[in-house]
A and B are shown apart, each in its own frame.
Chain A
Amino acid sequence: MNRLGSTRSRRLSAALIGAALLLAACGSDDGSSGSSGTDAPGATEAPTATDAPDTTDSPATTDAPSDGVRRVPSDYPTIQEAVDAAVPGDLVLISPGVYNEAVNVSTDELTIRGLDRNEVILDGEFELENGIRVLGASGVAVENMTAINYTVNGFYWIEADGYRASYLTAQRNNDYGVYAFDSINGLIEHIYAAGSPDAGLYIGQCYLCNALVTDVWAEYNGLGYSGTNSGGNLTIVNSQFNDNRAGIVPNSGSYELCYPGRETTVIGNVVFNNSNPDSPSKGLADLAFGTGITVAGGVGNVIERNLVYDHDRAGIAIAPFPEENPNDDIPGEDEWDITCDVQREAPLAEVTAEDLVAETYLVWNPYDNRVIGNSVAGSGLADLVNSGFGVPTEELRNCFSGNTFATSQPASLETLAPCDAPGSGDWTIDAFDPIQIVTFEAPPSVDYQTVELPPLPMLPGMEDPENAPASPAVGLSLTFDTSVLTLPTAPYYSHDG
């Protein structure tokens, strides 16, 4: 027998049933839709339909609007119908209401906008998979709305070149609130994400990602931010991660392609209380439980000027990631600059016993990470941690300078490993024992459907959604002058108003 190389060509015979029929029969969410246009109460619980929709009897318009705006429900009874009718450059404008839809988007350069961030609500009712899923379309912007109760993701981009998520609220979505997978050139801004067992925000499988994350508030998730095998001009700033199981966790792993995770820049964020046993969780959230910022086997990340406090285990940990059941061996340093589009096509190597620790773990060690100018306090184990496994920690080339902290493992970490200066000292004093990463028992997860969460904050929406023109995710300004950022002194957000 022969294997073919990976290709995307597919020859479909005339007898194959179309995807829409299959997915309708299977009850999956390829554009399935439900009621629309009901009044939406603002609450943490799944809203219930109250008043009857105003225009459910309105037939879908088939004429292209002269102004490029397709209104839901006045022009189209469902979001999906409006999206399906739209052409590149159009604006899909959604009126307040509860929409029991799972919307698929395949048209480039759409702007999909709610007229009110807090009152345009996509509700999956724990039956539908994704709120809005962008399937390879370039330049799609989704803004000013809420997605709740989806069995997979709230807002999801796959293989997008150009994406924007703005003024979005996501709660109780079973994987991620906002998710950009294998996508580049993206802007994620003004986001609230809570109650997701995996992470509030996730960017995965991209290098160079060219993505900017700013003004995100992620709480009561497994992870606040998760990024596997992502990085390269990926910047996370001015955001808050609190009361998750762990705050910010970029990592490497062979369960996705494009490893290692590398070159994520994390500056000017507030990260606190990420030791929450009452949040839902899956996967990495348990390994990293009780840590503020953990670089788990990542390379070349920059962690600067973050305010980090009150974590049961570590404030900032540069640590190895022990991967169970790996699918490939670890790329050598000479492969770290290979871009994702090339690396993803490389054949997978057979993992042998020699590659594993304790016959179980493929250990991704963290290299070349810089931890500078952070304020870290209130950590149960240590404010700063630097560790590898199977490699002397001093050979990992991680460095620490200018941080305000009380404890570190190993002791005197900034003397041992300063940035841009030779280090000295004894690495064995108070060295972190990486075995505890795998022996640590995290509290059991709680059901994302029923977990008690803070009330949905009524956060500001975009300015003038009714009249602002369409703004597809094209030509985004993704550079951020991080030199202007200062160390935060207090949380950006609270429920106290």
Chain B
Amino acid sequence: MPRVLKPALLSAVVVSAVVLSSCGDDNNADSVADASNAPSSDETAADQSVDDDVVTSVAPNGEELDVLALDNNFRDEEIEIVAGTTVVWENGGRNDHNIVPVDERAGWGVDIEEFRPGDVYSHAFTTPGEYPYYCTLHGTADFGMIGTVVVTG
């Protein structure tokens, strides 16, 4: 039976997903691809983006989509994936970058120290929604080196 998060549970999910101790600190911060555990903390953004609609999270499906971090652009800047897909970012530039979700509670992303040229970071998006992110060194939440992952159900 699909797991359904009712609005009453959203607060608890949000609180548990808060990551304030460090920028881009990710519960799945390994530099290799990882399958996020369900329920994923990216559900917070998804749930809130669809208001009272029922949102279903899925398990990682083994599919991957690559995003290239250049100096100073993400290519492609906006991608669309189905829930369960893992996005793999590679720093193909010569500068350090980071990946910071606009939603600071999202619990994914990668610090500068782990996203130097040649480094790879991945995250499985298991809940439909839109997940904007950016590099703090070369942009802000809505300008410069920005990207968005659009996750469809």
> B-contacting residues of A (Cβ < 8 Å)?
1-19, 21-23, 25-30, 104, 106, 129-130, 135-136, 152, 158-159, 175, 181-182, 198, 204-205, 228, 253-257, 282-284, 325, 327, 344, 348
Contact = CB atoms under 8 A, between A and B. Distances in A.
Contact of B102 (A19, A106, A257): A19
B141 A22 contact: yes
Interface in B40-84: 44-45, 47-49, 63, 65, 68, 70-73, 75-82
9 contacts: A2-B80, A4-B78, A11-B130, A12-B102, A15-B103, A16-B48, A17-B103, A27-B23, A159-B144
Contact of A22 (B44, B71, B72, B102): B102
B48 A325 contact: no
A255 B92 contact: yes
A30 B140 CA distance: 7
Interface in B76-134: 76-82, 85, 92-95, 100, 102-105, 117-118, 129-130, 132
Contacts of A254: 70, 92
Of all A-B residue pairs in the complex, the 10 with the closest CB atoms, nearest first, are: A26-B23, A15-B48, A19-B141, A13-B49, A28-B136, A22-B104, A6-B77, A327-B92, A255-B93, A256-B71
A181 B94 CA distance: 14
A283 B92 CA distance: 13
B75 to A, nearest CB: 6
B128 to A, nearest CB: 12
A268 B139 CA distance: 35
Given A7-B77, A283-B94, A327-B68, A129 B136 contact: yes
B82 A1 contact: yes
B142 interface: yes
Given A16-B103, A26-B24, A6 B76 contact: yes
Contacts of A28: 23, 100, 136-137
B22 A26 contact: yes
A256 B144 CA distance: 14
B20 interface: yes
A10 B132 contact: yes
Contact of A181 (B65, B72, B140, B141): B72
Main secondary structure on B side of the interface with A = mixed
B68 A158 contact: no
Interface of B: 20, 22-24, 44-45, 47-49, 63, 65, 68, 70-73, 75-82, 85, 92-95, 100, 102-105, 117-118, 129-130, 132, 136-144, 146, 148, 150
Nearest to A23: B136
A380 to B, nearest CB: 26
A22 B92 contact: no
A256 B69 CA distance: 9
A284 B95 CA distance: 11
B102 A3 contact: no
Contacts of B144: 135-136, 158-159
Contacts of B81: 1
A329 B4 CA distance: 46
A230 to B, nearest CB: 12
A4 B136 contact: no
B23 A257 contact: no
A254 B93 CA distance: 8
Contacts of A9: 78
A158 B47 CA distance: 34
B79 A4 contact: yes
Nearest to B141: A19
Nearest to B135: A28
Contacts of B141: 18-19, 22
A16 B63 contact: no
B76 A4 contact: yes
Given A1-B82, A6-B75, 18 more contacts: A4-B76, A10-B130, A10-B146, A13-B45, A15-B49, A16-B132, A19-B140, A19-B142, A25-B104, A26-B136, A30-B136, A30-B140, A175-B95, A198-B95, A254-B70, A254-B92, A255-B92, A255-B93
Nearest to A228: B71
Contacts of B132: 10, 12, 16
Contacts of A26: 22-24, 100, 104, 136
B26 to A, nearest CB: 12
Contact of A16 (B45, B47, B92): B45
B80 A14 contact: no
B122 to A, nearest CB: 15
Central interface residue in A23, A255, A282, by most chain B CB within 10 Å? A255
B153 to A, nearest CB: 12
A257 B73 CA distance: 8
Given A27-B23, A136-B144, A255-B93, A152 B137 contact: yes
A348 to B, nearest CB: 6
A5 B92 CA distance: 20
Contacts of B117: 255
A7 B75 CA distance: 11
B101 to A, nearest CB: 8
Given A15-B48, A175-B95, A256-B70, A7 B78 contact: yes
